[in-house]
Amino acid sequence: MPDAQLTSALSHFSTHFNGYIDDLMACLKIPSISALPAHQSDMVNCANHLASHITAIGLKNVQLLNHNDHPSMVYADYIVDSKKPTLLFYGHYDVQPVDPLDKWESPPFEPEIRHDAIYARGASDNKGMFYAQLKALESYLKTSGTLPINVKVIIEGEEEVGSKGLVSGLTKFKDLLKHDALVVSDSPMFSESQASICTGFRGLIYLECHVNAMNHDVHSGQMGGGVPNVIHYCSQCIASMKDPKTNIILIPGFYDDVLAHPPFNATEPVALAHLSQLDDHYRLSDHANNAFFDNIWYRPTLDCNGISSGYINEGSKTVIPNTAMFKLSCRLVPNQDPKTIIQLVSGYIQDFFPSSFNVRVTSLGPLAKAAHVDEKNPYIQAAIQSLETTHKMPILCHGEGGSVPILAEFQDQFNTPLVLIGLNAPNDNIHAPNERFRVSHYKNAIETYIRYLYQIDHSQLNQ
Amino acid sequence: MPDAQLTSALSHFSTHFNGYIDDLMACLKIPSISALPAHQSDMVNCANHLASHITAIGLKNVQLLNHNDHPSMVYADYIVDSKKPTLLFYGHYDVQPVDPLDKWESPPFEPEIRHDAIYARGASDNKGMFYAQLKALESYLKTSGTLPINVKVIIEGEEEVGSKGLVSGLTKFKDLLKHDALVVSDSPMFSESQASICTGFRGLIYLECHVNAMNHDVHSGQMGGGVPNVIHYCSQCIASMKDPKTNIILIPGFYDDVLAHPPFNATEPVALAHLSQLDDHYRLSDHANNAFFDNIWYRPTLDCNGISSGYINEGSKTVIPNTAMFKLSCRLVPNQDPKTIIQLVSGYIQDFFPSSFNVRVTSLGPLAKAAHVDEKNPYIQAAIQSLETTHKMPILCHGEGGSVPILAEFQDQFNTPLVLIGLNAPNDNIHAPNERFRVSHYKNAIETYIRYLYQIDHSQLNQ
């Protein structure tokens, strides 16, 4: 595709941007809250609205994918040449509930622009962000009548409630969704002003452990010193699994499958500023060190998330409890298999306690594998190029410490590169009152995606 | 006092025992529940009833001691010769609440004899047990018109709610209550059929620890591996304070003031049977070993009584909590000072955590010192003699792992030998529905106390 088509697309986008805002606002008016059964018809309306809009944009093969009783997924594609790369654009049209309603400065489903931001539930997460993808496509289709490369679009309606329809339908729709790279419109910039791309996320396992040391609680005076105290045993077990100062995991074999990764230097000014902000906010103690970003993005963790045993209400009760419960999760890195780690950690805990104890370790799920795309991957390089041209600044490649089960499922099925371009700001109040999407971020997102389609067409991928 | 007087007292007791049961039952009808304000007038009635009864028995100087707004304490004495030893008999006339009422086979304040036991609230704890003391005195006073030695009686009305009046009044009434040995009618036999004497109890401190590692909870994905996890730090702290397998405390200096004690052999048949029963009931694991009774009676302990941090409800929450709370108590042995141990343990905990943490350790009280009387003490030897003659079996001297704050206060003020003759059975349902006192145990208790007064008069104490 010649440069003129890029120029036309950018120019059309530029002159029609106000209309692109209106189109987004029309969708933001539909209260498509997937968690609340009362909004089931709004979910249907939203899917239909999107199908019409995508048809109007000029995408082909528009359809509502249905799987069991799950909300429809909106699908469309535009195939220009089977020899060219195919991107799968992912987004979701369902939104979070809105309580507490009284904290909203304007009604959540009456989108309003103030202070150069669009305020509404879904403004960022995820309607604003996937509309940026759609509007990039529209800018080409309305000018050149075609796209530089092949594009498929899938917009699901259950991301906020676990993506069960998409996960369980991935096999069924595998041929339809076949692609070369998955372009996800659901991740934030590193900071409000730092354009960035996320090159991976960590996996997850979550265990609940119940330890029973005796048949009954006992009186700490009558029996203390002659009975096993389950809190002390559990403390010893937990203490033996990790050094809290370094967060290094001490379970033999835990790191066996961990691959080397390029270290991220926390002394880069943008990282340093962010770390210092986090430290101010959270008080991270000695943990706010040069290894901080390595530790939260590229290294696995083991963290107790909760513990409970014995008497925890006001005052004193002289009891030695017979049971304890603790919850424990691990963030995993690429090449670590969640099931293997569950077996390793469960086995370690089971073996730790005396044989007279009853120990029950349960996986609470969902399991998620980690994913990582190399910065040198051409799909990432094209994204970096597009971002640099749009934002006119060096682009930060960063990891994400959290886990994204639906993307892990895509990885499992397709094993294609993930492209997670940061679109909104970390402080855009997603899942909270006064969710917003800055107008400038919406604009930059559309421009980036327009350039991205062009970059892919002009990269080594298309030689 | 000649043997004839002992013989007369025993004979009078024997022929009047049915009356002694009736007298106890009259007192058991008064619902003197100290914890419930609705029973305040019953408390007054009970104190007055006892004062009349003690006067009728023939004790002198009967008075109701009042201190601030606390329930009256019933006092009386009978001084025969200032050169003779003076025993202070201790008991309490207040009883526990009765719920759950529907579990009682007969109404708690309508005492009833069935299966050779008196069933009522307070039958054992403590009306039945201090009536045994009163009836022993009565048996002498009604026959010889005097007692072998000096006796004082104090019966308080707040034992079940912390003995605050007696504790705070001990200085005020110190001269009145002056004595050579404290004879407490508030301890059980080692087992239903094993006559015994308790030669001491352990002290107590109780701490609550709040540990704050960060200003806020964090997301275990976004920040995990880069932040301090308070559960792991607390686990490390708790694990470092005690070896859970041996219950040996690892805080430097903890055992500095602990004195040697004569080891108690858990392989004695009666101990072995008891230990095996406990093991069956509680499942004590490897802790049910030869050192068991040493550990629960004569060694100090450190036990976490409760711990709570993070998410403990159903399901998974990917949180790294910023605070944790744990409760911790120590049982102490003679020569360990509660305040010193509080400082030692609090200081250890404070010093354990990084300086950026906020750590707050609070003593919840009540503090109690331990007490121990040597088996060779003549007051104990006289008790052993009296028990042996009454029960016609070898007497077991044992410790008590629990703490008795009021007796620790007496120790502090008077530092006199404690005589804790086991009177009721451990399975007499004190503090529970269907509390009882076996008729045979009431009888044995009275006989033992009759013989005890005689033994003291004929011991080296009275040479």
Distances (CA, A) of B422 to B31, B189, B270, B385, B397: 25, 4, 15, 14, 10
Q: Mean pLDDT throughout B359-382?
A: 93
| Residue B314: partners with Cβ closer than 8 Å, 6 or more residues away | none
Q: Average model confidence (pLDDT) for chain B?
A: 95
Which candidate in B298, B304, B352 is best for mutational testing of the A interface (most A CBs within 10 A)? Answer: B304
Question: Does the pLDDT at position B462 exceed 90?
Answer: no
Q: Mean pLDDT throughout A109-113?
A: 98
Q: Are A332 and A341 in contact (CB under 8 A)?
A: yes
pLDDT at A113: 98
For A145: left if phi > 0, alpha if psi spans -120 to 50, otherwise beta; the answer is left
For residue B298, give the DSSP letter.
I
Q: How far apart are CA B372 and CA B421, in angstroms?
A: 14
B331 → chain A, closest CA residue: A221
- Residue among B223, B229, B303 whose CB faces A320 most closely: B303
Token reading at B425? 């059975």
Give the ipTM.
0.90
Instruction: Give contacts of B239 with chain A, Cβ < 8 Å.
Output: 232, 235-236, 238-240
Which candidate in B206, B212, B230, B301 is best for mutational testing of the A interface (most A CBs within 10 A)? Answer: B301
Name the pLDDT band for A366 (thresholds 50, 70, 90).
Answer: confident
Q: Mean pLDDT throughout A74-80?
A: 98
Strands (E) across A311-451 are located at 319-320, 323-332, 358-363, 371-372, 396-400, 418-424, 436-438
Question: Exposed, middle or buried, A67 (CB in 10 Å: 0-12/13-18/19+)?
Answer: middle
Q: How far apart are CA A292 and CA A399, in angstroms?
A: 12
Q: Read off the pLDDT of residues B320-364 as tens digits, 9 standing for 90 and up.
A: 999 999 999 999 999 999 999 999 999 999 999 999 999 999 999
B3-201+371-462 and B203-258+299-363: identical CATH topology: no
3-state helix, strand, coil in chain A (%, to 5): 35, 25, 40
Query: What pairing do the DSSP bridges indicate for beta strands B196-201 and B396-400?
Result: parallel
Q: Read off the pLDDT of residues B249-261 as tens digits, 9 standing for 90 and up.
A: 999 999 999 998 8
Question: Exposed, middle or buried, A376 (CB in 10 Å: 0-12/13-18/19+)?
Answer: exposed
Q: Average model confidence (pLDDT) for chain A?
A: 95
Distance from the Cα of A92 to chain B's closest Cα (Å) equals 22
Question: Does the pLDDT at position B463 exceed 80?
Answer: no
Q: How many whole angstroms from its chain centre is CA B139?
A: 27
Q: Read off the pLDDT of residues A188-246 as tens digits, 9 standing for 90 and up.
A: 999 999 999 999 999 999 999 999 999 999 999 989 999 999 999 999 999 999 999 99
Question: Does the pLDDT at position A398 exceed 90?
Answer: yes
| Sign of the four-CA dihedral A40, A108, A449, A379 | negative
A370 → chain B, closest CA residue: B221
Residue closest to A44 by CA, chosen among A107, A93, A110, A99? A93
Residue closest to A226 by CA, chosen among B261, B374, B263, B283? B283
pLDDT at A280: 92
Q: Read off the pLDDT of residues A432-451 as tens digits, 9 standing for 90 and up.
A: 999 999 999 999 999 999 99
Distance from the Cα of A128 to chain B's closest Cα (Å) equals 23
Distances (CA, A) of A351 to A236, A241, A242: 13, 12, 16
pLDDT at A10: 98
Q: How far apart are CA A264 and CA B439, in angstroms?
A: 81
Percentage of chain B modeled with pLDDT above 90: 87
pLDDT at A355: 96
- Residue among B215, B308, B317 whose CB faces A281 most closely: B215
pLDDT at B266: 75
pLDDT higher for A1 or B240? B240
Q: How far apart are CA A202 and CA A200, in angstroms?
A: 7
Q: How far apart are CA A141 and CA A137, in angstroms?
A: 6
Q: How far apart are CA B327 and CA A314, in angstroms?
A: 10
Say whether B204 and A221 touch across the interface (CB within 8 A): yes
pLDDT higher for B266 or A275? A275
Strands (E) across A213-350 are located at 218-219, 242-243, 248-249, 303-310, 319-320, 323-332
Question: Does the pLDDT at position A1 exceed 70?
Answer: no
pLDDT at A2: 72
For residue B149, give the DSSP letter.
S
- Residue among B223, B315, B403 whose CB faces A221 most closely: B403
Q: Are B132 and B449 in contact (CB under 8 A)?
A: yes
For residue B308, give the DSSP letter.
E
Token reading at B233? 């730090």
Question: Exposed, middle or buried, B231 (CB in 10 Å: 0-12/13-18/19+)?
Answer: buried
Q: Are A11 and A144 in contact (CB under 8 A)?
A: no
Torsion of CA B414, B419, B424, B429, to 10 degrees: 30
Q: Are B267 and B290 in contact (CB under 8 A)?
A: yes
Say whether A287 and B233 touch across the interface (CB within 8 A): no
- Residue among B233, B329, B364 whose CB faces A315 most closely: B364
pLDDT at A265: 73
Say whether A319 and B300 touch across the interface (CB within 8 A): no
Q: How far apart are CA B41 and CA B339, in angstroms?
A: 39
Beta-carbon pairs below 8 A across chains A and B:
288
CATH superfamily of B3-201+371-462: Zn peptidases (3.40.630.10)
Q: Read off the pLDDT of residues B84-119 as tens digits, 9 standing for 90 and up.
A: 999 999 999 999 999 899 999 999 999 999 999 999
Distances (CA, A) of B405 to B41, B331, B368, B421: 27, 12, 5, 18
Q: Read off the pLDDT of residues B180-237 as tens digits, 9 standing for 90 and up.
A: 999 999 999 999 999 999 999 999 999 999 999 999 999 999 899 999 999 999 999 9
User: Helix or strand or coil: residue A311?
Assistant: coil
Distances (CA, A) of A335 to A251, A258, B381: 18, 6, 74
Cα angle A375, A381, A385 (rounded to 5 degrees) comes to 135
Distances (CA, A) of B446 to A97, B20, B115, B119: 74, 10, 20, 18
Q: How far apart are CA A180 and CA A83, in angstroms?
A: 11
pLDDT at A244: 97
Distance from the Cα of A44 to chain B's closest Cα (Å) equals 30
What are the domain boundaries of chain B? 3-201+371-462, 203-258+299-363
User: Helix or strand or coil: residue B241?
Assistant: helix
Distance from the Cα of A381 to chain B's closest Cα (Å) equals 25
For the beta carbon of residue A453, count every other beta carbon within 10 angstroms.
27
Token reading at B57? 């028995």
Distance from the Cα of B430 to chain A's closest Cα (Å) equals 15
pLDDT at A64: 96
Name the pLDDT band for A135 (thresholds 50, 70, 90).
Answer: very high
**φ/ψ (deg, to 5) at A101:** -60, -35
Question: Does the pLDDT at position A266 exceed 80?
Answer: no
Q: How far apart are CA A336 and CA A256, in angstroms?
A: 8
pLDDT higher for B306 or A161? B306
Residue closest to A198 by CA, chosen among A410, A399, A414? A399
- The amino acid sitting at B404 is V
Distances (CA, A) of A380 to A196, A237, A384, A441: 11, 42, 6, 20
- Residue among A228, A231, A283 whose CB faces B215 most closely: A283
Instruction: Give contacts of A356 with chain B, Cβ < 8 Å.
Output: 283, 285-286
- Residue among B220, B228, B324 whose CB faces A287 most closely: B228
Q: Are B160 and B153 in contact (CB under 8 A)?
A: no
Q: How far apart are CA B422 and CA B391, in angstroms?
A: 12
Report the topology of domain A203-258+299-363: Alpha-Beta Plaits (3.30.70)
Name the pLDDT band for B461 (thresholds 50, 70, 90).
Answer: confident
